[in-house]
């Protein structure tokens, strides 16, 4: 997500029509999300460039552990960046509970230490087949609930849900079942967030571009740095 000037992005955040959910300009800490595709990330440089938080890929399905996860997680910690892990879902391969437990066993855990974000469930377009993984809308909602409830039962917090509005409408029937429990991380590469999935009146994170001066995808937190730290303590 190539953005020439961050001021352009911030200006866009406060100029969107009132009919669309938008981020409010309140410092909006910048973040990145990375995986093995970026290799070993220099998080000290990212921190110097204004990055306050990072989501780092930990697992995918029940057969893949990101080979760079440990290196990047430790590096982000040492750089003083608030960080968390994310799991790329494959709802067609095993149950939500099975994948939540796999995620928890390989980097997706959480503790109220002020520097660990709740784990994130990356639920989106199938890269290798049917968009909705062959599941009906009701089956997809049940799968997500299974993952979410399992994660909550083990950590005391609900996972962040990363998705796009289009995928959510297509594959969950625009379910409103998660808006009161799970923080939303919306992906939309545009000057405004646009319409959100049902159930959420605002997004917690916005992935607004997939390239920039820092490695990985570019994200903004909807709030202040203090608010970001509260999320890392579940306060």
What pLDDT is attached to residue 2? 32
With bands split at pLDDT 50, 70 and 90, how would you rate the model's confidence at 211? confident
Report how far residue 53's alpha carbon sits from residue 30's, in angstroms, rounded to the nearest whole number.
7
Contacts of 58 (CB under 8 A, 6+ apart): 65, 66, 69, 85, 86, 87, 103, 106, 107, 108, 119
Distance of CA 232 to the CA centre of its chain: 14
List, for residues 91-111, the tens digit of each pLDDT value.
Answer: 999 999 999 999 999 999 999
For the chain, list the domains and their CATH numbers: 28-221 (3.20.20.80)
pTM of the shown model: 0.88
The H or E element spanning position 121 is strand 120-122
Catalytic residues: 33, 122, 124
What single DSSP character describes residue 37? G
Helix axes 96-105, 137-155, angle to 10 degrees: 40
The pLDDT tens digits of the residues spanning 59-74 come to 999 999 999 999 999 9
β 30-34/160-163 pair status: unpaired
Select from 221, 234, 10, 229 the least CA-distant residue to 114. 229
Mean pLDDT, to the nearest integer, of 48-62? 97
Name the residue with higher pLDDT: 128 or 27: 128
């Amino acid at each position: 997500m190539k953005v020439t000037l961050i001021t352009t992005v911030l200006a866009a955040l406060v100029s969107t029509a009132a009919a669309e959910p938008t981020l409010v300009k309140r410092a909006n800490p910048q973040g990145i999300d990375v995986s093995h595709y970026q290799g070993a990330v220099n998080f000290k440089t990212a921190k110097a460039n204004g990055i306050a938080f990072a989501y780092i890929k930990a697992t995918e399905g029940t057969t893949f552990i990101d080979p760079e996860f440990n290196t990047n997680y430790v590096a982000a910690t040492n750089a003083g960046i608030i960080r968390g892990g994310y799991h790329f879902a494959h709802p067609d391969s095993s149950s939500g509970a099975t994948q939540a437990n796999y995620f928890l066993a390989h980097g997706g855990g959480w503790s109220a230490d002020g520097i660990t974000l709740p784990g994130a469930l990356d639920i989106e377009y199938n890269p290798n087949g049917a968009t909705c993984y062959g599941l009906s809308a009701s089956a997809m909602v049940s799968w997500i609930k299974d993952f979410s409830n399992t994660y909550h039962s083990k950590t005391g917090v609900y996972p962040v849900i990363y998705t796009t509005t289009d995928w959510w409408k297509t594959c969950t029937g625009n379910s409103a079942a998660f808006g009161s429990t799970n923080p939303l991380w919306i992906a939309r590469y545009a000057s405004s967030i646009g319409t959100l999935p049902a159930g959420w009146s605002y997004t917690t994170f916005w992935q607004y571009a997939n390239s920039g001066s820092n490695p990985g995808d570019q994200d903004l937190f909807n709030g202040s740095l203090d608010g970001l730290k509260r999320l890392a303590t579940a306060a």
